[in-house]
Structure 1
Amino acid sequence: MPPNLNKAIDLIDAAHREDPNRLHANGESIPYELHYAQKMSKYLNLHTPNADPLLVTAARAQHFRRWEVPRDSYPKTKAGYFVWRTLLKKRQAEQVRQLCLDCGYSVEEADKVAALIAKEDLKKGEGKGDPDAQVIEDVACLVFLDDQFDEFEKAHDEDKIVSILQKTWVKMGKRGQELALQMDLSDRAKELVGKALAG
C-alpha cells in the first residue's frame, strides 16, 4: 500500500490550524504555522518539482506543533537556543513519524520522514549526507529569506545579520543558492545579501 499523502497533509494542516499565533495579511488572518507550511511547500515545488511523497510530507511538517514549546520557555542564550531547537527537532520528528504510520506509511518511510524533520543526516553543502536532507535545508533557508528575514534583521546589528547570511549561504546547495539569487527581496535584504556574499 502506498502512503496516503493526502491524509497526512490534511492531518498536518489540521495541527497547523491550531496554532494560536496569527499572521494578518491582505485582510486575512491565518495561523502562522499553516502559513509557514504553505511557504515550505511552495519553495519545495520550485526547488524540486514532483518531489516524492516523503519529501513533501517532511517539508509540510517542518514546524509541527512548534508553538507548543515556545522559544521563551528556555533561557535566551545561545545554549538555551540550541537546547530548545534540539528538543523541538526530536519532538516534531517523533510526532510526525506516528502520524505517517497512521496514514499507511511503512516503518521505513515514516523513519525517513522523521529523519528529514530531525535533520539527522544533513551535512553542509552538496555531495555529503542525504540529498533529501539538503533539499529540506535549502527550502527552509529560502522560506527564511522570503518570509522572516525583513523582520529578523531589524532586531540585530548589521554585522550579525551579515554573519548569519554567510552561514545560511554555506548551508545551502547550489539549487537553493540559485533560487535565493532569483528572489524578489526587499532593497535592504538585497543590500545585506550582497555584503554577505562579498565578504
Structure 2
Amino acid sequence: MSTKFEQAIALIDEKNSKDQNQEIIDGVSYPKELVYSRRMTDCLLNFKSDASEALQIAARAQHICRWEIPRKDYPMDKPGYMSWRNELKKMHVGLAGDILKQVGYDEEFIARVQFLISKKSFKKDADSQTLEDVVCLVFLQYYFEDFASKHSDEKLIDIVKKTWNKMSETGHKKALELSYSDKSLNLIKQALA
C-alpha cells in the first residue's frame, strides 16, 4: 500500500512524463519537466532534509505540465511574460489540487500546497522562502550555463541580481557552493559586487 504522499508524487511524475520536450542526460533522453521536478525534489531535500510533505509536493508540482501553456503564445515583452507566468501558476495550482484531492488529502493541506506553489508570500512564509530558494538553486545549478550562452552579459547580471534578491541568506550560501564555469562565476561576482 503506497501512502497518499507517494501516490501524489507518482501522479505528478505521470503527468510530467508526458512532456514531449526532451532533455538529454548522459546520452539518454527524458521528458524535460519530469527531469525538472526530480531536480526540485533532490535540491529541496539537500537544502532542507526535514521539508514538510506540503513543501515536497509543492516543489515536485512547481512546473507540472508547464509545456501546455507555451511562452510563444504570449507577447514577447514584460507584460506578456507576466501574463504567461500567472496563467502557468493558475494551471499548476489547479492540477496539484486535483491530484491531492484524488489521493485523499484534506482541503487544508491542499490549500497549503496551492499557496506554496503560487509563491505569493515568499519573504514572509518560511516554506515559501525555502521553495523560492530551491527554484533559484535549481536554475543556477542546472540551467544558468545554457541560459548564459543565449544572452548578453548585461542581461545575465540583471537576472542574477533579481535571482539573488529572491533568496535567503542560507540560499545565498548554498548558491556560492555550486560549481560554475569561470565565465558564469565571473558574471555572478559582477552581479553581487
TM-score in same-fold range (> 0.5): yes
Corresponding position: 1:86 with 2:86: yes
Q: CA-to-partner distance for each residue in 1:155-191, whole Å, 9 max, x for gaps?
A: 2211111111011111001111111010012222111
* Structure 1 letter corresponding to 2:166: K
Q: How does 1:165-180 map to 2 (within 5 A)?
A: 165-180=160-175
Query: Quick one: distance in 1 between partners of 2:173 and 2:111?
Result: 30
* Structure 1 letter corresponding to 2:147: F
Corresponding position: 1:185 with 2:180: yes
Corresponding residue for residue 115 of structure 1: 115
Q: How big is the shift at 1:47?
A: 1.1
Corresponding position: 1:24 with 2:24: yes
Query: Quick one: distance in 1 between partners of 2:154 and 2:27?
Result: 35
Query: Quick one: distance in 1 between partners of 2:170 and 2:25?
Result: 29
Query: Quick one: distance in 1 between partners of 2:175 and 2:30?
Result: 25
Aligned residues: 191
Query: Quick one: distance in 2 between partners of 1:179 and 1:122?
Result: 18
Q: CA-to-partner distance for each residue in 1:43-97, whole Å, 9 max, x for gaps?
A: 1011110211101100001001110001101111111000000111111101101
Corresponding residue for residue 14 of structure 1: 14
Q: How does 1:1-199 map to 2 (within 5 A)?
A: 4-123=4-123, 129-198=124-193
Structure 2: runs of 5 or more not aligned: none
Q: Give the TM-score normalised by the residue count of structure 1.
A: 0.93
Query: Quick one: distance in 2 between partners of 1:27 and 1:6?
Result: 29
State the secondary structure of the residue aligned to 2:23: strand
